[in-house]
Structure 1
Amino acid sequence: MDCPRCQNEMIEEEFSDLRDDTGYMNFRGWRCILCGEIVDSVILENRRNRPAPLVGRNRKIMAYS
């Protein structure tokens, strides 16, 4: 697998997440050997289902008195 950030080689690794709320402490994913980018199934799913950008929303102007 190639790294989405730097296009270098990624290795499969087992990670531990002590604060995971799904009941699993360990999970498998990929880590880039150059930049350290971590990718797993949850990260890939969230990147695929990215919400559409909000168009036409202006910042609110703050009134100073």
Structure 2
Amino acid sequence: MHCRRCDNLMFPIGLQDWGGGHPPYDVEAWRCFACGDIVDQLIAENRNRNSADREDYRRQGARRRANAIGLLR
């Protein structure tokens, strides 16, 4: 896999949430050797959203997004 920022190689890592949030297990991600950019599945999905999806997400507002996250707990 190649980095979108600097086009160098990336290596797999396991991310951990030490704050006790979700998910409670390691998340698989990729980290760039050169610039340190980290990409996991959620970051990749957000970067691949089209402009209409981004606008709908923005219009929902921060309170709706925070409530959606709160329901997972």
Q: For the superposition of Structure 1 and Structure 2, which TM-score range results when normalised by the shorter chain? A: 0.5 to 0.7
Tell me the TM-score normalized by structure 1.
Answer: 0.67
Comparing both structures, which one devotes a greater share of its residues to helix? 2
Unaligned 5+ segments in structure 2 are: 56-73
Instruction: Work out the CA distance in 2 between the residues paired with 1:3 and 1:20.
Output: 29
Determine the C-alpha separation between the residues in 2 that align with 1:26 and 1:19.
13
**Distance between the aligned counterparts of 2:41 and 2:19, measured in 1?**
17
Once the two structures are overlaid, the 10-residue window that deviates more, 37-46 or 11-20, is 11-20
Alignment of 1:1-65 (within 5 A): 1-19=1-19, 21-50=21-50, 51-52=54-55
Q: Matched residues in 2 for 1:3 and 1:37: separation? A: 7
Shift of 1:8: 0.1
Unpaired segments of 5 or more residues in structure 1? 53-65
Change (3 A) 1:2 1:23: closer
Q: Is the 8 A contact 1:16 1:25 kept in 2?
A: yes
TM-score, normalised to structure 2's length? 0.61
Identity over aligned residues, as a percent? 37
Please state how far the C-alpha of 1:42 moved relative to its aligned partner. Answer: 0.5
Q: Secondary structure at the match of 1:13?
A: strand
How many residues are aligned here?
Answer: 53
